[in-house]
Structures are given as structure tokens and as C-alpha cells.
Structure 1
């Protein structure tokens, strides 16, 4: 099928119609969401006008896209939706939803489906209520414009305003026919003349500000003796347009009130502006909540920055640093503006970054992680990771604790313990070395006797004796190297280790001690054990300590 303008005009694109907030002029805006950044929209005073404007713009924009060769997106058909999708949530939310589903006696899938259905229904209901409110306000504005057609106000002639009383009486009797529009509309409404006198106001305004008869708007709202410097009513009389502002004043009980103001002109048959209608929406509760949120944020930042450990807020996917506290600089050497927007992986060595990237996303705790400062100094930290919501998205809260000094102290204690163990094993080691030395001494004595007697040594005997000397020298070297390695200060790096080999080496060092005390050892090691991640030197010390404890318990 040829994809021309008619093809695209006939496609069933989705039309979204959204009300424009009254503070921004009111009305509706319609759009085609499938077009994304290409954006095709229309607007109007009503939904119907907005859709008509959208359809007119749609044909014009589609023709332009076809002419320029721009790829036009097509709507997704209903059959393209499988009814299944994958939703990733924080573990805590998953747990809460599962428990609630269990309490309801239904599956987690059914429970989430019911929540989504309720949310969609509530959203649609809220949209309809907003539409109804907008419609009522527009009807009320039109009504007031009709009622003030007979009002003649002339600032040049300065006519006596007392003549307005019959018109105002007539206005009141006629607006009484529409009590829902005037008295029950969910906002404050006043009607003001060019002198800013309150000609008419609804019950909600009276309840909030308790105006005196003939009061000026600025006096009733704010207790002022002259008009406000930024007066939207004045601007409406000047240019005939609608204007808005945000104001603050005192309620009749003395508490501070905040409200958003929107004005509209009221004209007579000749198109002259005879009054201005001012509609105010009370936003006091919103402003108070904002103040509480601000205080809460200040408290959060105070706590966040005074935590004695470095704290990072990371993007869950990229591990980009969104935020960090003041204690990052003393530990890592980076100033806040240097490290923000960078990757948290930059504080790890290049060869370790891939490993720790996986651990950070999957683990709640990482022990003895090796990191580097800005100057390149290596140090060790424990890392605690917690997922949380931050600015509307799931992030990782990462807290690090520098444990370098603690590890150094532990190393010193371990080394002291090793030296004590070596002291205890001195007798056994001496015995172990004495055996190969005795063999070497015997063989050398044999050679010397033969040489002194000038007797020939048979080749077979000479080879056998030389082999014994070589093997015992190797055994002595192995014992010395093992003791040297055991006495060396161990590092904290963990590597894949065969636990059977480590245990066998520990027994080789300590077995003579046990033999001297007539203690027999039976080894029953399982073969083909998988390697473990450990420090072989430190693990050997653990086994030797266990052997020492077992020896002492037997004695």
C-alpha cells in the first residue's frame, strides 16, 4: 500500500486531551503521543476545539514530514500488546506488595492488576472533575458578563456610583438562580469595579476574609490602604486581558493565607470593560507543605552532611554519582564538584572495576574493598549499599567505612601471634631439620672414609648416596622456605585457594610438635573440593591455631 497523506490521516492515532491549568490561561491542549519529539498539538477553549485544531495541524505537519522525507511513526495496534510486561521495583516494595497480596488471599499478579485498575479509574475520575470545574467557572464568567452589561462606569465623568445599587440588586437576584456556580464553586470569587471596590463576592471569600461593606479589595485581602504594586485587576482594566499572580495575606483569624489569582474582564454590549472578575484558588496548604518539605530537606542535608562516613548517592544503572556528603573529601581527596557526575567506579583500580560494578548492584555489603584516593593511595573500606527513592527514581545509597588502620592493627596482632607460634614450633622444626642433616652427615662421612683409604666407591652406591643427599637438601630447603613464608607479614588480598593444600602445609609444620607429645594425626580430606576465596597465609595460621588448641586440650 502506498503510504501517502491519506494513508497516514486514516491511521487510528491516539488523541490525548489535557486541561491547561487556569493559572496558565486555561483551556485544553490535544496531542498525538505516538509522534514523540515530532510533536503535533492543538489547543482550544473546549475539548472539541482542541481536537479540531489538532486535526488541522496533523494534516499540515504530516504533509511537511512526507515532503522532507522524515520517518513518520505509526500507531501501535491493540494486537501488538501481549498483556504482559516486566516491572522492576525496589526489593522493599516487592516485599510489601507480596505481603498485601497474601493478606488479600490472591496472587501478587492479581493484586497488582487490581491496584493498576483502581489507579486508572481514579485518574479518569479526577480528570472529569477538573473538566467539570473548568466548565462551571466558564459558565459563571459568561453569566457575570451578561449581568454587568447594564453597568456604566466612567472614570472621566466620575459619575455617582450609588446608581449602581439597582443593577447590583438585579445582579444578585439573577445570580441566585445559579447558586452552585457562584456559592459552591471551589474557589474564592470577587467582582470589582475600576475603583477596586468589592461589588460582589461569594461565601468562601466572606468566610476567609470577613470583608466590611464597601471595602476595597486590597484592604479586604491584605489590610492595605492602597492597591497592590502588582495588581492583576489593574492590568485587566488596562488591556482587557486575563492576568494572574500569586498573593499572600491574613485570614480573619490572623493566620497567613496564600492564593493564586486569575482575573477576567466583564464587558457590556459595546465591548467596554465595566468590571473585573477575580478568581482565587487557596494554596495555603500547598505552601505549608512546601515549607515542611523544605525544612525536611534542610534536616536531611544536615544529617547527610554530618554523617561521619563518606556517603554517595548513585544511579542504579550507570553508578554515576548524583550526590555525596562533606566527608568524601577528607577520605578520598576529591572536592564535591570534582566527583559529582563522575562514576563511582573511578575510586577502584582499573582491574577491579568490572568485579565491583557487579557487586554494587547485587550486594548489600562488600567487605574489605580496595579503593584509591585522588592521589593514588590505596586503602581498604567496607561498603554498605541500600536502594532508595531519590528525585522520583531508584538509586543506591552507598556508605563506605575506612578500615585500613584496623586491618593494619589486625596484621600486627596476627604477625605477633605467628612469631609466638614459630617460637613454640622451634623444637619441632629443629628436629625436622636434624633428620636431613643427619643423612647428609652420614653420607659425607662415608665418602671421607673411602677417600682416606683410597678405596673405590661403586657407581651404584655413589649414585644412591648422592640421591639421598640431594633429596634431604630439598627437604631441608622446603622446611626453611615454608617457615620463611609462614613468618612473612601477610597481605589482605584474597585469592582462589585450595583448602586441602593449606591444611596439609599446616600439618607439615606442626606434626613434629604433636609427635613429640605422642599425639597421632589421622587425615581424612575430601578430594576435588572447589577453591575458596581466601588468603592462604592467614588461613594456615588459623589451622595452626586450631591444632595448638587441640593439642592443649588433649594435654
Structure 2
């Protein structure tokens, strides 16, 4: 009974059987209910049709008030087997016609069952649905009866001269037909018995089929699966369960077979690993021992055996160090006390007398109850590391001496907030601070302007040139900064080296100013031509005024206004030229800003426009409209463009003079300077081309060198292109020469478009 109670097959059959029984019983119940409802609906509808037939059959007789004919019709219809009663009531509840003579002229109680259907409310109801006019009750002989009562309506013919029914009466009476349900109930009972018999038959047949299927396709395969699992548990990992079906049990059998194979493979692997771990324990290149609470050696590996040659039952401290009692700082003792792993560094003497250093690590060994029964101690020889540490300490001292004595200031900055963590002694000579005054401050405090911007630059760049710093005395220093990421201890830092370029920049400024003065000398002739025209206009106008005044002649107002306007405009022009010269010649620091190159190029040309025109040199413009802005110093860029225009002018003049001396016709030579601007990708490009002598390949690589010039002595300093190269580089641009399809020089300048 216990096996049956725990049998999966029995549970499966029982569950399926109960489910099948409930399903078939539910189907049988609803099927019987449906048939009962259908039979009753058919009987009710048939009885209602019979009621309507009787009313139609007696209609004519009622119209002529032929009582005998009405009685005859009702008796003939009442002879049918299923009909129990046919009664016609008047409005007072008196039976006027019936298929039974004993019922005629009897007065029924108005609250009786047939009458109560309509007289349950005042006034009485006269329009009812079929379901409301139907009643079922039991006869005295024990079988059920169905009654359908139908009202007899007052028609126009009923209130004629031959009848006495008033017109305001809607109901004259009621027709009540009662039929027997004895046959119908018998048919329903037979149907119920058939359905129940069919249900029992289907349940039994299905149960037997399910039992056979479960027995053959479930119980027997499960028995084989159980037997196969027992064999795997006994170690027969490669035994196969003999179940060859393509259903879930077949898949389970394949899974069990696969599981047995995998368990066998893993067991073999575990055996190999056990052997490997044993070999590792024996051959690991460090000392491993297992000790009890009395520090007695329970086990050790080959390395320990070869190094110390212990005896059986030897004590740890005696085998290691030849001591008679345990060490004062013993990690094994601590492990037995708190059950945790402990660490220490030990030193001892080998058999050959050399000093050895170890890192000692212990771990507890527990039994199944969690009790500490032994401690494992592992010792790693760190003698080479100790020697390296000593060498590293010497090396650190050496490199710290280098760090301290580097002539440039070196800062160690926190990579997150740029706080100065350390610095060398050179900051005293450059910045005037003592080391303890500047450590733990922020490196950005040294910047004079836009500290947030330079903080971002330090985080993203490796080189920052020409930055303004301020020393302790408040003086401005120009420095170049070099940044490299590093580690300071375990902290990420930046190594920042600054180079003081203040004196170099001052020298460069002097050279640039010298170049400007030389350029101003070159520009003097052009400026004279430019100033000559407004002075001539002013001279002419003043002579005219004096002449008229001497003759005491009146000057017309329109003429006076026109000449005054001319004088005013030419004074403005002369003032503009003089201011331009003064601004150009003024000494200024580099200051980058957004620049529109077209405007700077046109401003540089204004000074030479009249001079070039007088010398017969044509300037061809090809400027891109809406040219993007760049970052640069407009004053210094103007100096670059002026240098290039002067060089182009001199080259054209030199070529013209050479052709004249060679007896060639100089009129046939083109005297043009081409000025172009355009955008290429993310670059703004400026091209300056001339029709002069050009640049030979031999000197192409030397033209940007300081003091290199191809002009005659006294006609050039050799600084123009060198300074122009430096200015463009400081503005983040490039300048180069390009081979010209013609004969002259061709300079190409490129700048990155401003990111603002």
C-alpha cells in the first residue's frame, strides 16, 4: 500500500481519471440541461400554438354567439391524449366553456394560479410574454402539467348590436390550455439515462486505454530509468539506459546517459586534478608545512624537506631555525587563536650559512564540524626582493637628487584637482617661493588669467607654450609647460616642467620690433605717396580760399561746403594713415583673438595701394566671402602680410630691373601680386603669389632662417620671413612655399577655424 500510495503511475492515472470524470460529467450535465430546456421550449411553443388555434377555431362561433358550436370545438380538441383541460374564463373568473362538463359555470377564485398571472396587480395586466403566461404544476396523479393562459381581447365586432360588451373593455376573458408533461418527462428521463450510460462507458474505456498507455510508455521506461540511475550511483558511469523512444522520457534517458558519461569524465578529471594538486603541493617552489596546535609538523612538501631536512615528529621552530621554543611572533599561534589567516616576515640562516628572508602566510584547516584541527603555513623566499629593495632605495636617492637639482622647476600635481604635491628646489630661483610655501597649493594659482581654461588644458594636453605666470614678487613670467602623466606612490599625478622664456620672448619682441621699424622704413615711400594726395587737396583748397579773401569775393555756399567736405575727408584719410603707422609701429604683446583674415589682409594692403599703383604693379584679389574666423593676433598678422607684400614688390622690381639690363622689353613682363583666401575643410588658407624672380630649390629650405636674405646689402635684414614664421606658429598656423607654375614665389598660409 505504501508503494502504491507513492507510485507516480497511480497518481498519474488517478489525476487523469478524475480530470476525465469531471470533464465528461460536466459535458453530460450541460447536455441534459440543454435537452430539457429544448424539450420544454418545444412543448411551450406547441401549447401556445394550440391556444392560438383554439382561439381562431372558436372565433366565428363567438362572433355569432353560438355556444353549442364553441363547446363542440373545445370537446373535439380536448379529446387529444396530451390535453388535460381547455377552459374559457369570462372577466369575472367564471368558466364559460370547458372540455369537461363538470367545470362549466363554476367560478374560480381570482387569486387562483391561472388567474393570478394577470391579476397580481391592479389594474390587471393584459399584455404578457409567453414565458409569463406559462406555468408548470403537478397533477393529483403525480405527473407534471403545463398550463398556458391566453387573454381574449375585445374586438370591434364584439361590441356590435348583437353583443353587449362595452367598447372600453380591453379583455373579455381568458383561454387556459393545460397539457400533460408525462410523456415528455419520460423522454427526458430516457435521454438522461442514455447520456449517463454513455458517460460511464466512455470513462471506463478511456481509463483502461490510459492505464495501458501509462503502464507501457511511462511505468516501464521509468523503471529502466530508476535502475540506470542506481547503477550510476554505484559507479557504473558509462552504463546506458535502454529506452528508445522519441518523447520526453526518451530525452530523459538520453540526459541520464549523458549525465553518467559527464560524471565519469568529471570523476576522471577530479582524479587527475587530485594527482596534479598532490604534485603541485610537492613541487611548488615555496615552503609549505601543516602543523598541529603544538607546532608539530604533520606534513610538508618536498621544498621544505630538501631545504631543512626535518625529522619525523619534528617541531616547526626547531626545523626552521634550530630553536628550542616557538618564535615570539608566531602567525600559526594567532591562527589557532582566532581562526583567521595571518602574515609575517621572517629571516633565518640556511644550511650553507646564508641569510634568507621569507614571507609567511598561515591559514586554518577545519574538520567537518568546523573545528580547527591544523594550520597550514606557506613561506615564500623573498631574499632577491629584499636585495632589489635595497638597490631601489639607492636608486630612489639618486633620482631624487636629479629631481631636486634639475635647473627647470618641476611640479608633481594631483591628477584630479591639480594640487601641488611636491616640487624641486629650482622653484626658488624662478618663482621666488620656498618649497614649503607652494606645496599643497593649486598649480593654477600661478596663472595670471583664465585659470579654468588652463586647468582644462593641463588635463588634455602635453605642451602649453607661452603662458603668463606670476612669481612671488608679483612679476610676470612667460613659461613653456610640459606635462606627462605618472604615478606618485599609488596616486595618479602629472609631472609638470616649466621653462622660463621671459628673456627669450623679450629678445624676440625686440627682433619683431626691429623688423617693424625696418618695415616702416620700407613703407616710408608708400606713406609719402599716400599723404601727398590729401595734402595736395588741402593746399589747393586753402589757396582758393586765400585768393577769394584777398579779392574780397564772396564764396558760394555750395562751393564752400563741397571744398570743406573734401578737406575734412582728406584730413581723415591722412589721420587714418598716420594712426595706422603708429599702431603698426607700437610694441605690443601677443594677444590671440578671433580674426577675420580678409579684413587684416586688406588693411595691410592699404598702405601700399598707391605705391604699387605708381610702380605699375597690379594686385589681383580672390577673397572668399563669409570666410570663417581664426584665432590670431591681428597686429602681428598684418606684419606678416606686409612682409610678404614687400617681398613680392621687391621681387617684381628686381625681375623688371634684370630684364631691363638684359635689354629685354620690360613692358612684356607681368607685374602682378595675387592675394587669395579660401576654406579647405576645417582650415582657412591664404595664398600670396607674385610674378617676381621666384625661389630656387637651393634656398627653399633656408628662407625662414633668421638673417637669411637674397637681397643686396643694405636692402634687407633677413628677419622678415623668420619673424613671420614665428608669428604664424604662435597663432597655431603654418606657412610654406609651393612650386609656382609661373615664375614667381608662392606662399601658402593655413590656420584652423576658430572653435568658438
TM-score range, shorter chain: 0.5 to 0.7
Counterpart in 1 of 2:588? 490
Q: Secondary structure at the match of 1:422?
A: helix
Counterpart in 1 of 2:615? 517
Question: For each residue in 1:50-105, what CA deviation from the matched residue of structure 2 results, as whole angstroms up to 9, or x when unmatched?
Answer: xxxxxxxxxxxxxxxxxxxxxxxxxxxxxxxxxxxxxxxxxxxxxxxxxxxxxxxx
Q: 1:344 to 1:240 in 2, by over 3 A?
A: closer
Question: In 2, distance between residues paired with 1:505 and 1:263?
Answer: 84
Counterpart in 2 of 1:406? 504
Q: 1:497 to 1:191 in 2, by over 3 A?
A: closer
Question: For each residue in 1:234-263, what CA deviation from the matched residue of structure 2 results, as whole angstroms up to 9, or x when unmatched?
Answer: 9979x9999985332443445431124689
Question: In 1, distance between residues paired with 2:563 and 2:285?
Answer: 115
Question: In 1, distance between residues paired with 2:569 and 2:284?
Answer: 107
Correspondence 1:114-153 to 2 at 5 A = none
Of 434-443 and 318-327, deviating more is 318-327
Deviation at 1:551, TM superposition (A): 1.6
Provide the TM-score with structure 2 as the length reference: 0.42
2:324 is aligned with 1:247: no
Question: For each residue in 1:120-174, what CA deviation from the matched residue of structure 2 results, as whole angstroms up to 9, or x when unmatched?
Answer: xxxxxxxxxxxx9xxx9xxxxxxxxxxxxxxxxxxxxxxxxxxxxxxxxxxxxxx
Question: Which of these residues, 291, 303, 315, is aligned with residue 414 of structure 2?
Answer: 315
2:208 is aligned with 1:208: no
Question: In 2, distance between residues paired with 1:452 and 1:388?
Answer: 88
Counterpart in 2 of 1:330? 429
Counterpart in 2 of 1:362? 460
Question: Which of these residues, 280, 287, 301, is aligned with residue 187 of structure 1?
Answer: 287
Residue segments in structure 2 that go unaligned for 5+ positions in a row:
1-272, 364-373, 655-756
Deviation at 1:537, TM superposition (A): 1.6
Which structure has the bigger radius of gyration?
A: 2
CA contact (8 A) 1:364 1:385 kept: yes
Q: Secondary structure at the match of 2:450?
A: helix
* Greater relative contact order (CA < 8 Å, ≥ 6 in sequence): 1
Question: In 1, distance between residues paired with 2:437 and 2:297?
Answer: 58
2:390 is aligned with 1:256: no
Correspondence 1:57-76 to 2 at 5 A = none
Q: 1:503 to 1:211 in 2, by over 3 A?
A: same
Question: In 1, distance between residues paired with 2:599 and 2:497?
Answer: 37
2:515 is aligned with 1:456: no
Counterpart in 2 of 1:424? 522
CA contact (8 A) 2:281 2:301 kept: no
Deviation at 1:534, TM superposition (A): 1.6
2:513 is aligned with 1:415: yes
CA contact (8 A) 2:430 2:471 kept: yes
2:433 is aligned with 1:340: no
Q: 1:179 to 1:512 in 2, by over 3 A?
A: closer
Counterpart in 2 of 1:377? 475
CA contact (8 A) 1:190 1:202 kept: no
Question: In 2, distance between residues paired with 1:183 and 1:452?
Answer: 127
Q: 1:452 to 1:473 in 2, by over 3 A?
A: same
Q: 1:533 to 1:219 in 2, by over 3 A?
A: same
Of 212-221 and 407-416, deviating more is 212-221
Question: In 2, distance between residues paired with 1:371 and 1:508?
Answer: 38
CA contact (8 A) 2:541 2:563 kept: yes
CA contact (8 A) 1:193 1:199 kept: no
Q: Secondary structure at the match of 1:521?
A: strand
CA contact (8 A) 1:332 1:374 kept: yes
Question: In 2, distance between residues paired with 1:387 and 1:287?
Answer: 29
Question: In 2, distance between residues paired with 1:499 and 1:293?
Answer: 57
Deviation at 1:482, TM superposition (A): 0.8
Counterpart in 1 of 2:130? none
Question: In 2, distance between residues paired with 1:391 and 1:282?
Answer: 25
2:626 is aligned with 1:528: yes
Question: In 1, distance between residues paired with 2:531 and 2:550?
Answer: 29
CA contact (8 A) 1:365 1:382 kept: yes
Question: For each residue in 1:372-405, what CA deviation from the matched residue of structure 2 results, as whole angstroms up to 9, or x when unmatched?
Answer: 2232221212222233444445433322222211
Q: 1:203 to 1:381 in 2, by over 3 A?
A: same
CA contact (8 A) 2:290 2:299 kept: yes
Deviation at 1:418, TM superposition (A): 1.1
Q: Secondary structure at the match of 2:623?
A: coil
Correspondence 1:106-121 to 2 at 5 A = none
Question: In 2, distance between residues paired with 1:180 and 1:358?
Answer: 54
The aligned length equals 366
Q: 1:252 to 1:509 in 2, by over 3 A?
A: farther
Q: 1:220 to 1:338 in 2, by over 3 A?
A: farther
Q: Secondary structure at the match of 1:524?
A: strand
Q: Secondary structure at the match of 1:436?
A: helix
Deviation at 1:292, TM superposition (A): 5.0
Question: In 2, distance between residues paired with 1:475 and 1:183?
Answer: 98
Deviation at 1:550, TM superposition (A): 1.1
2:646 is aligned with 1:545: no
Aligned CA-pair RMSD: 4.3
Question: In 1, distance between residues paired with 2:325 and 2:487?
Answer: 42
Residue segments in structure 1 that go unaligned for 5+ positions in a row:
1-131, 137-177, 265-275
Q: Secondary structure at the match of 2:473?
A: coil
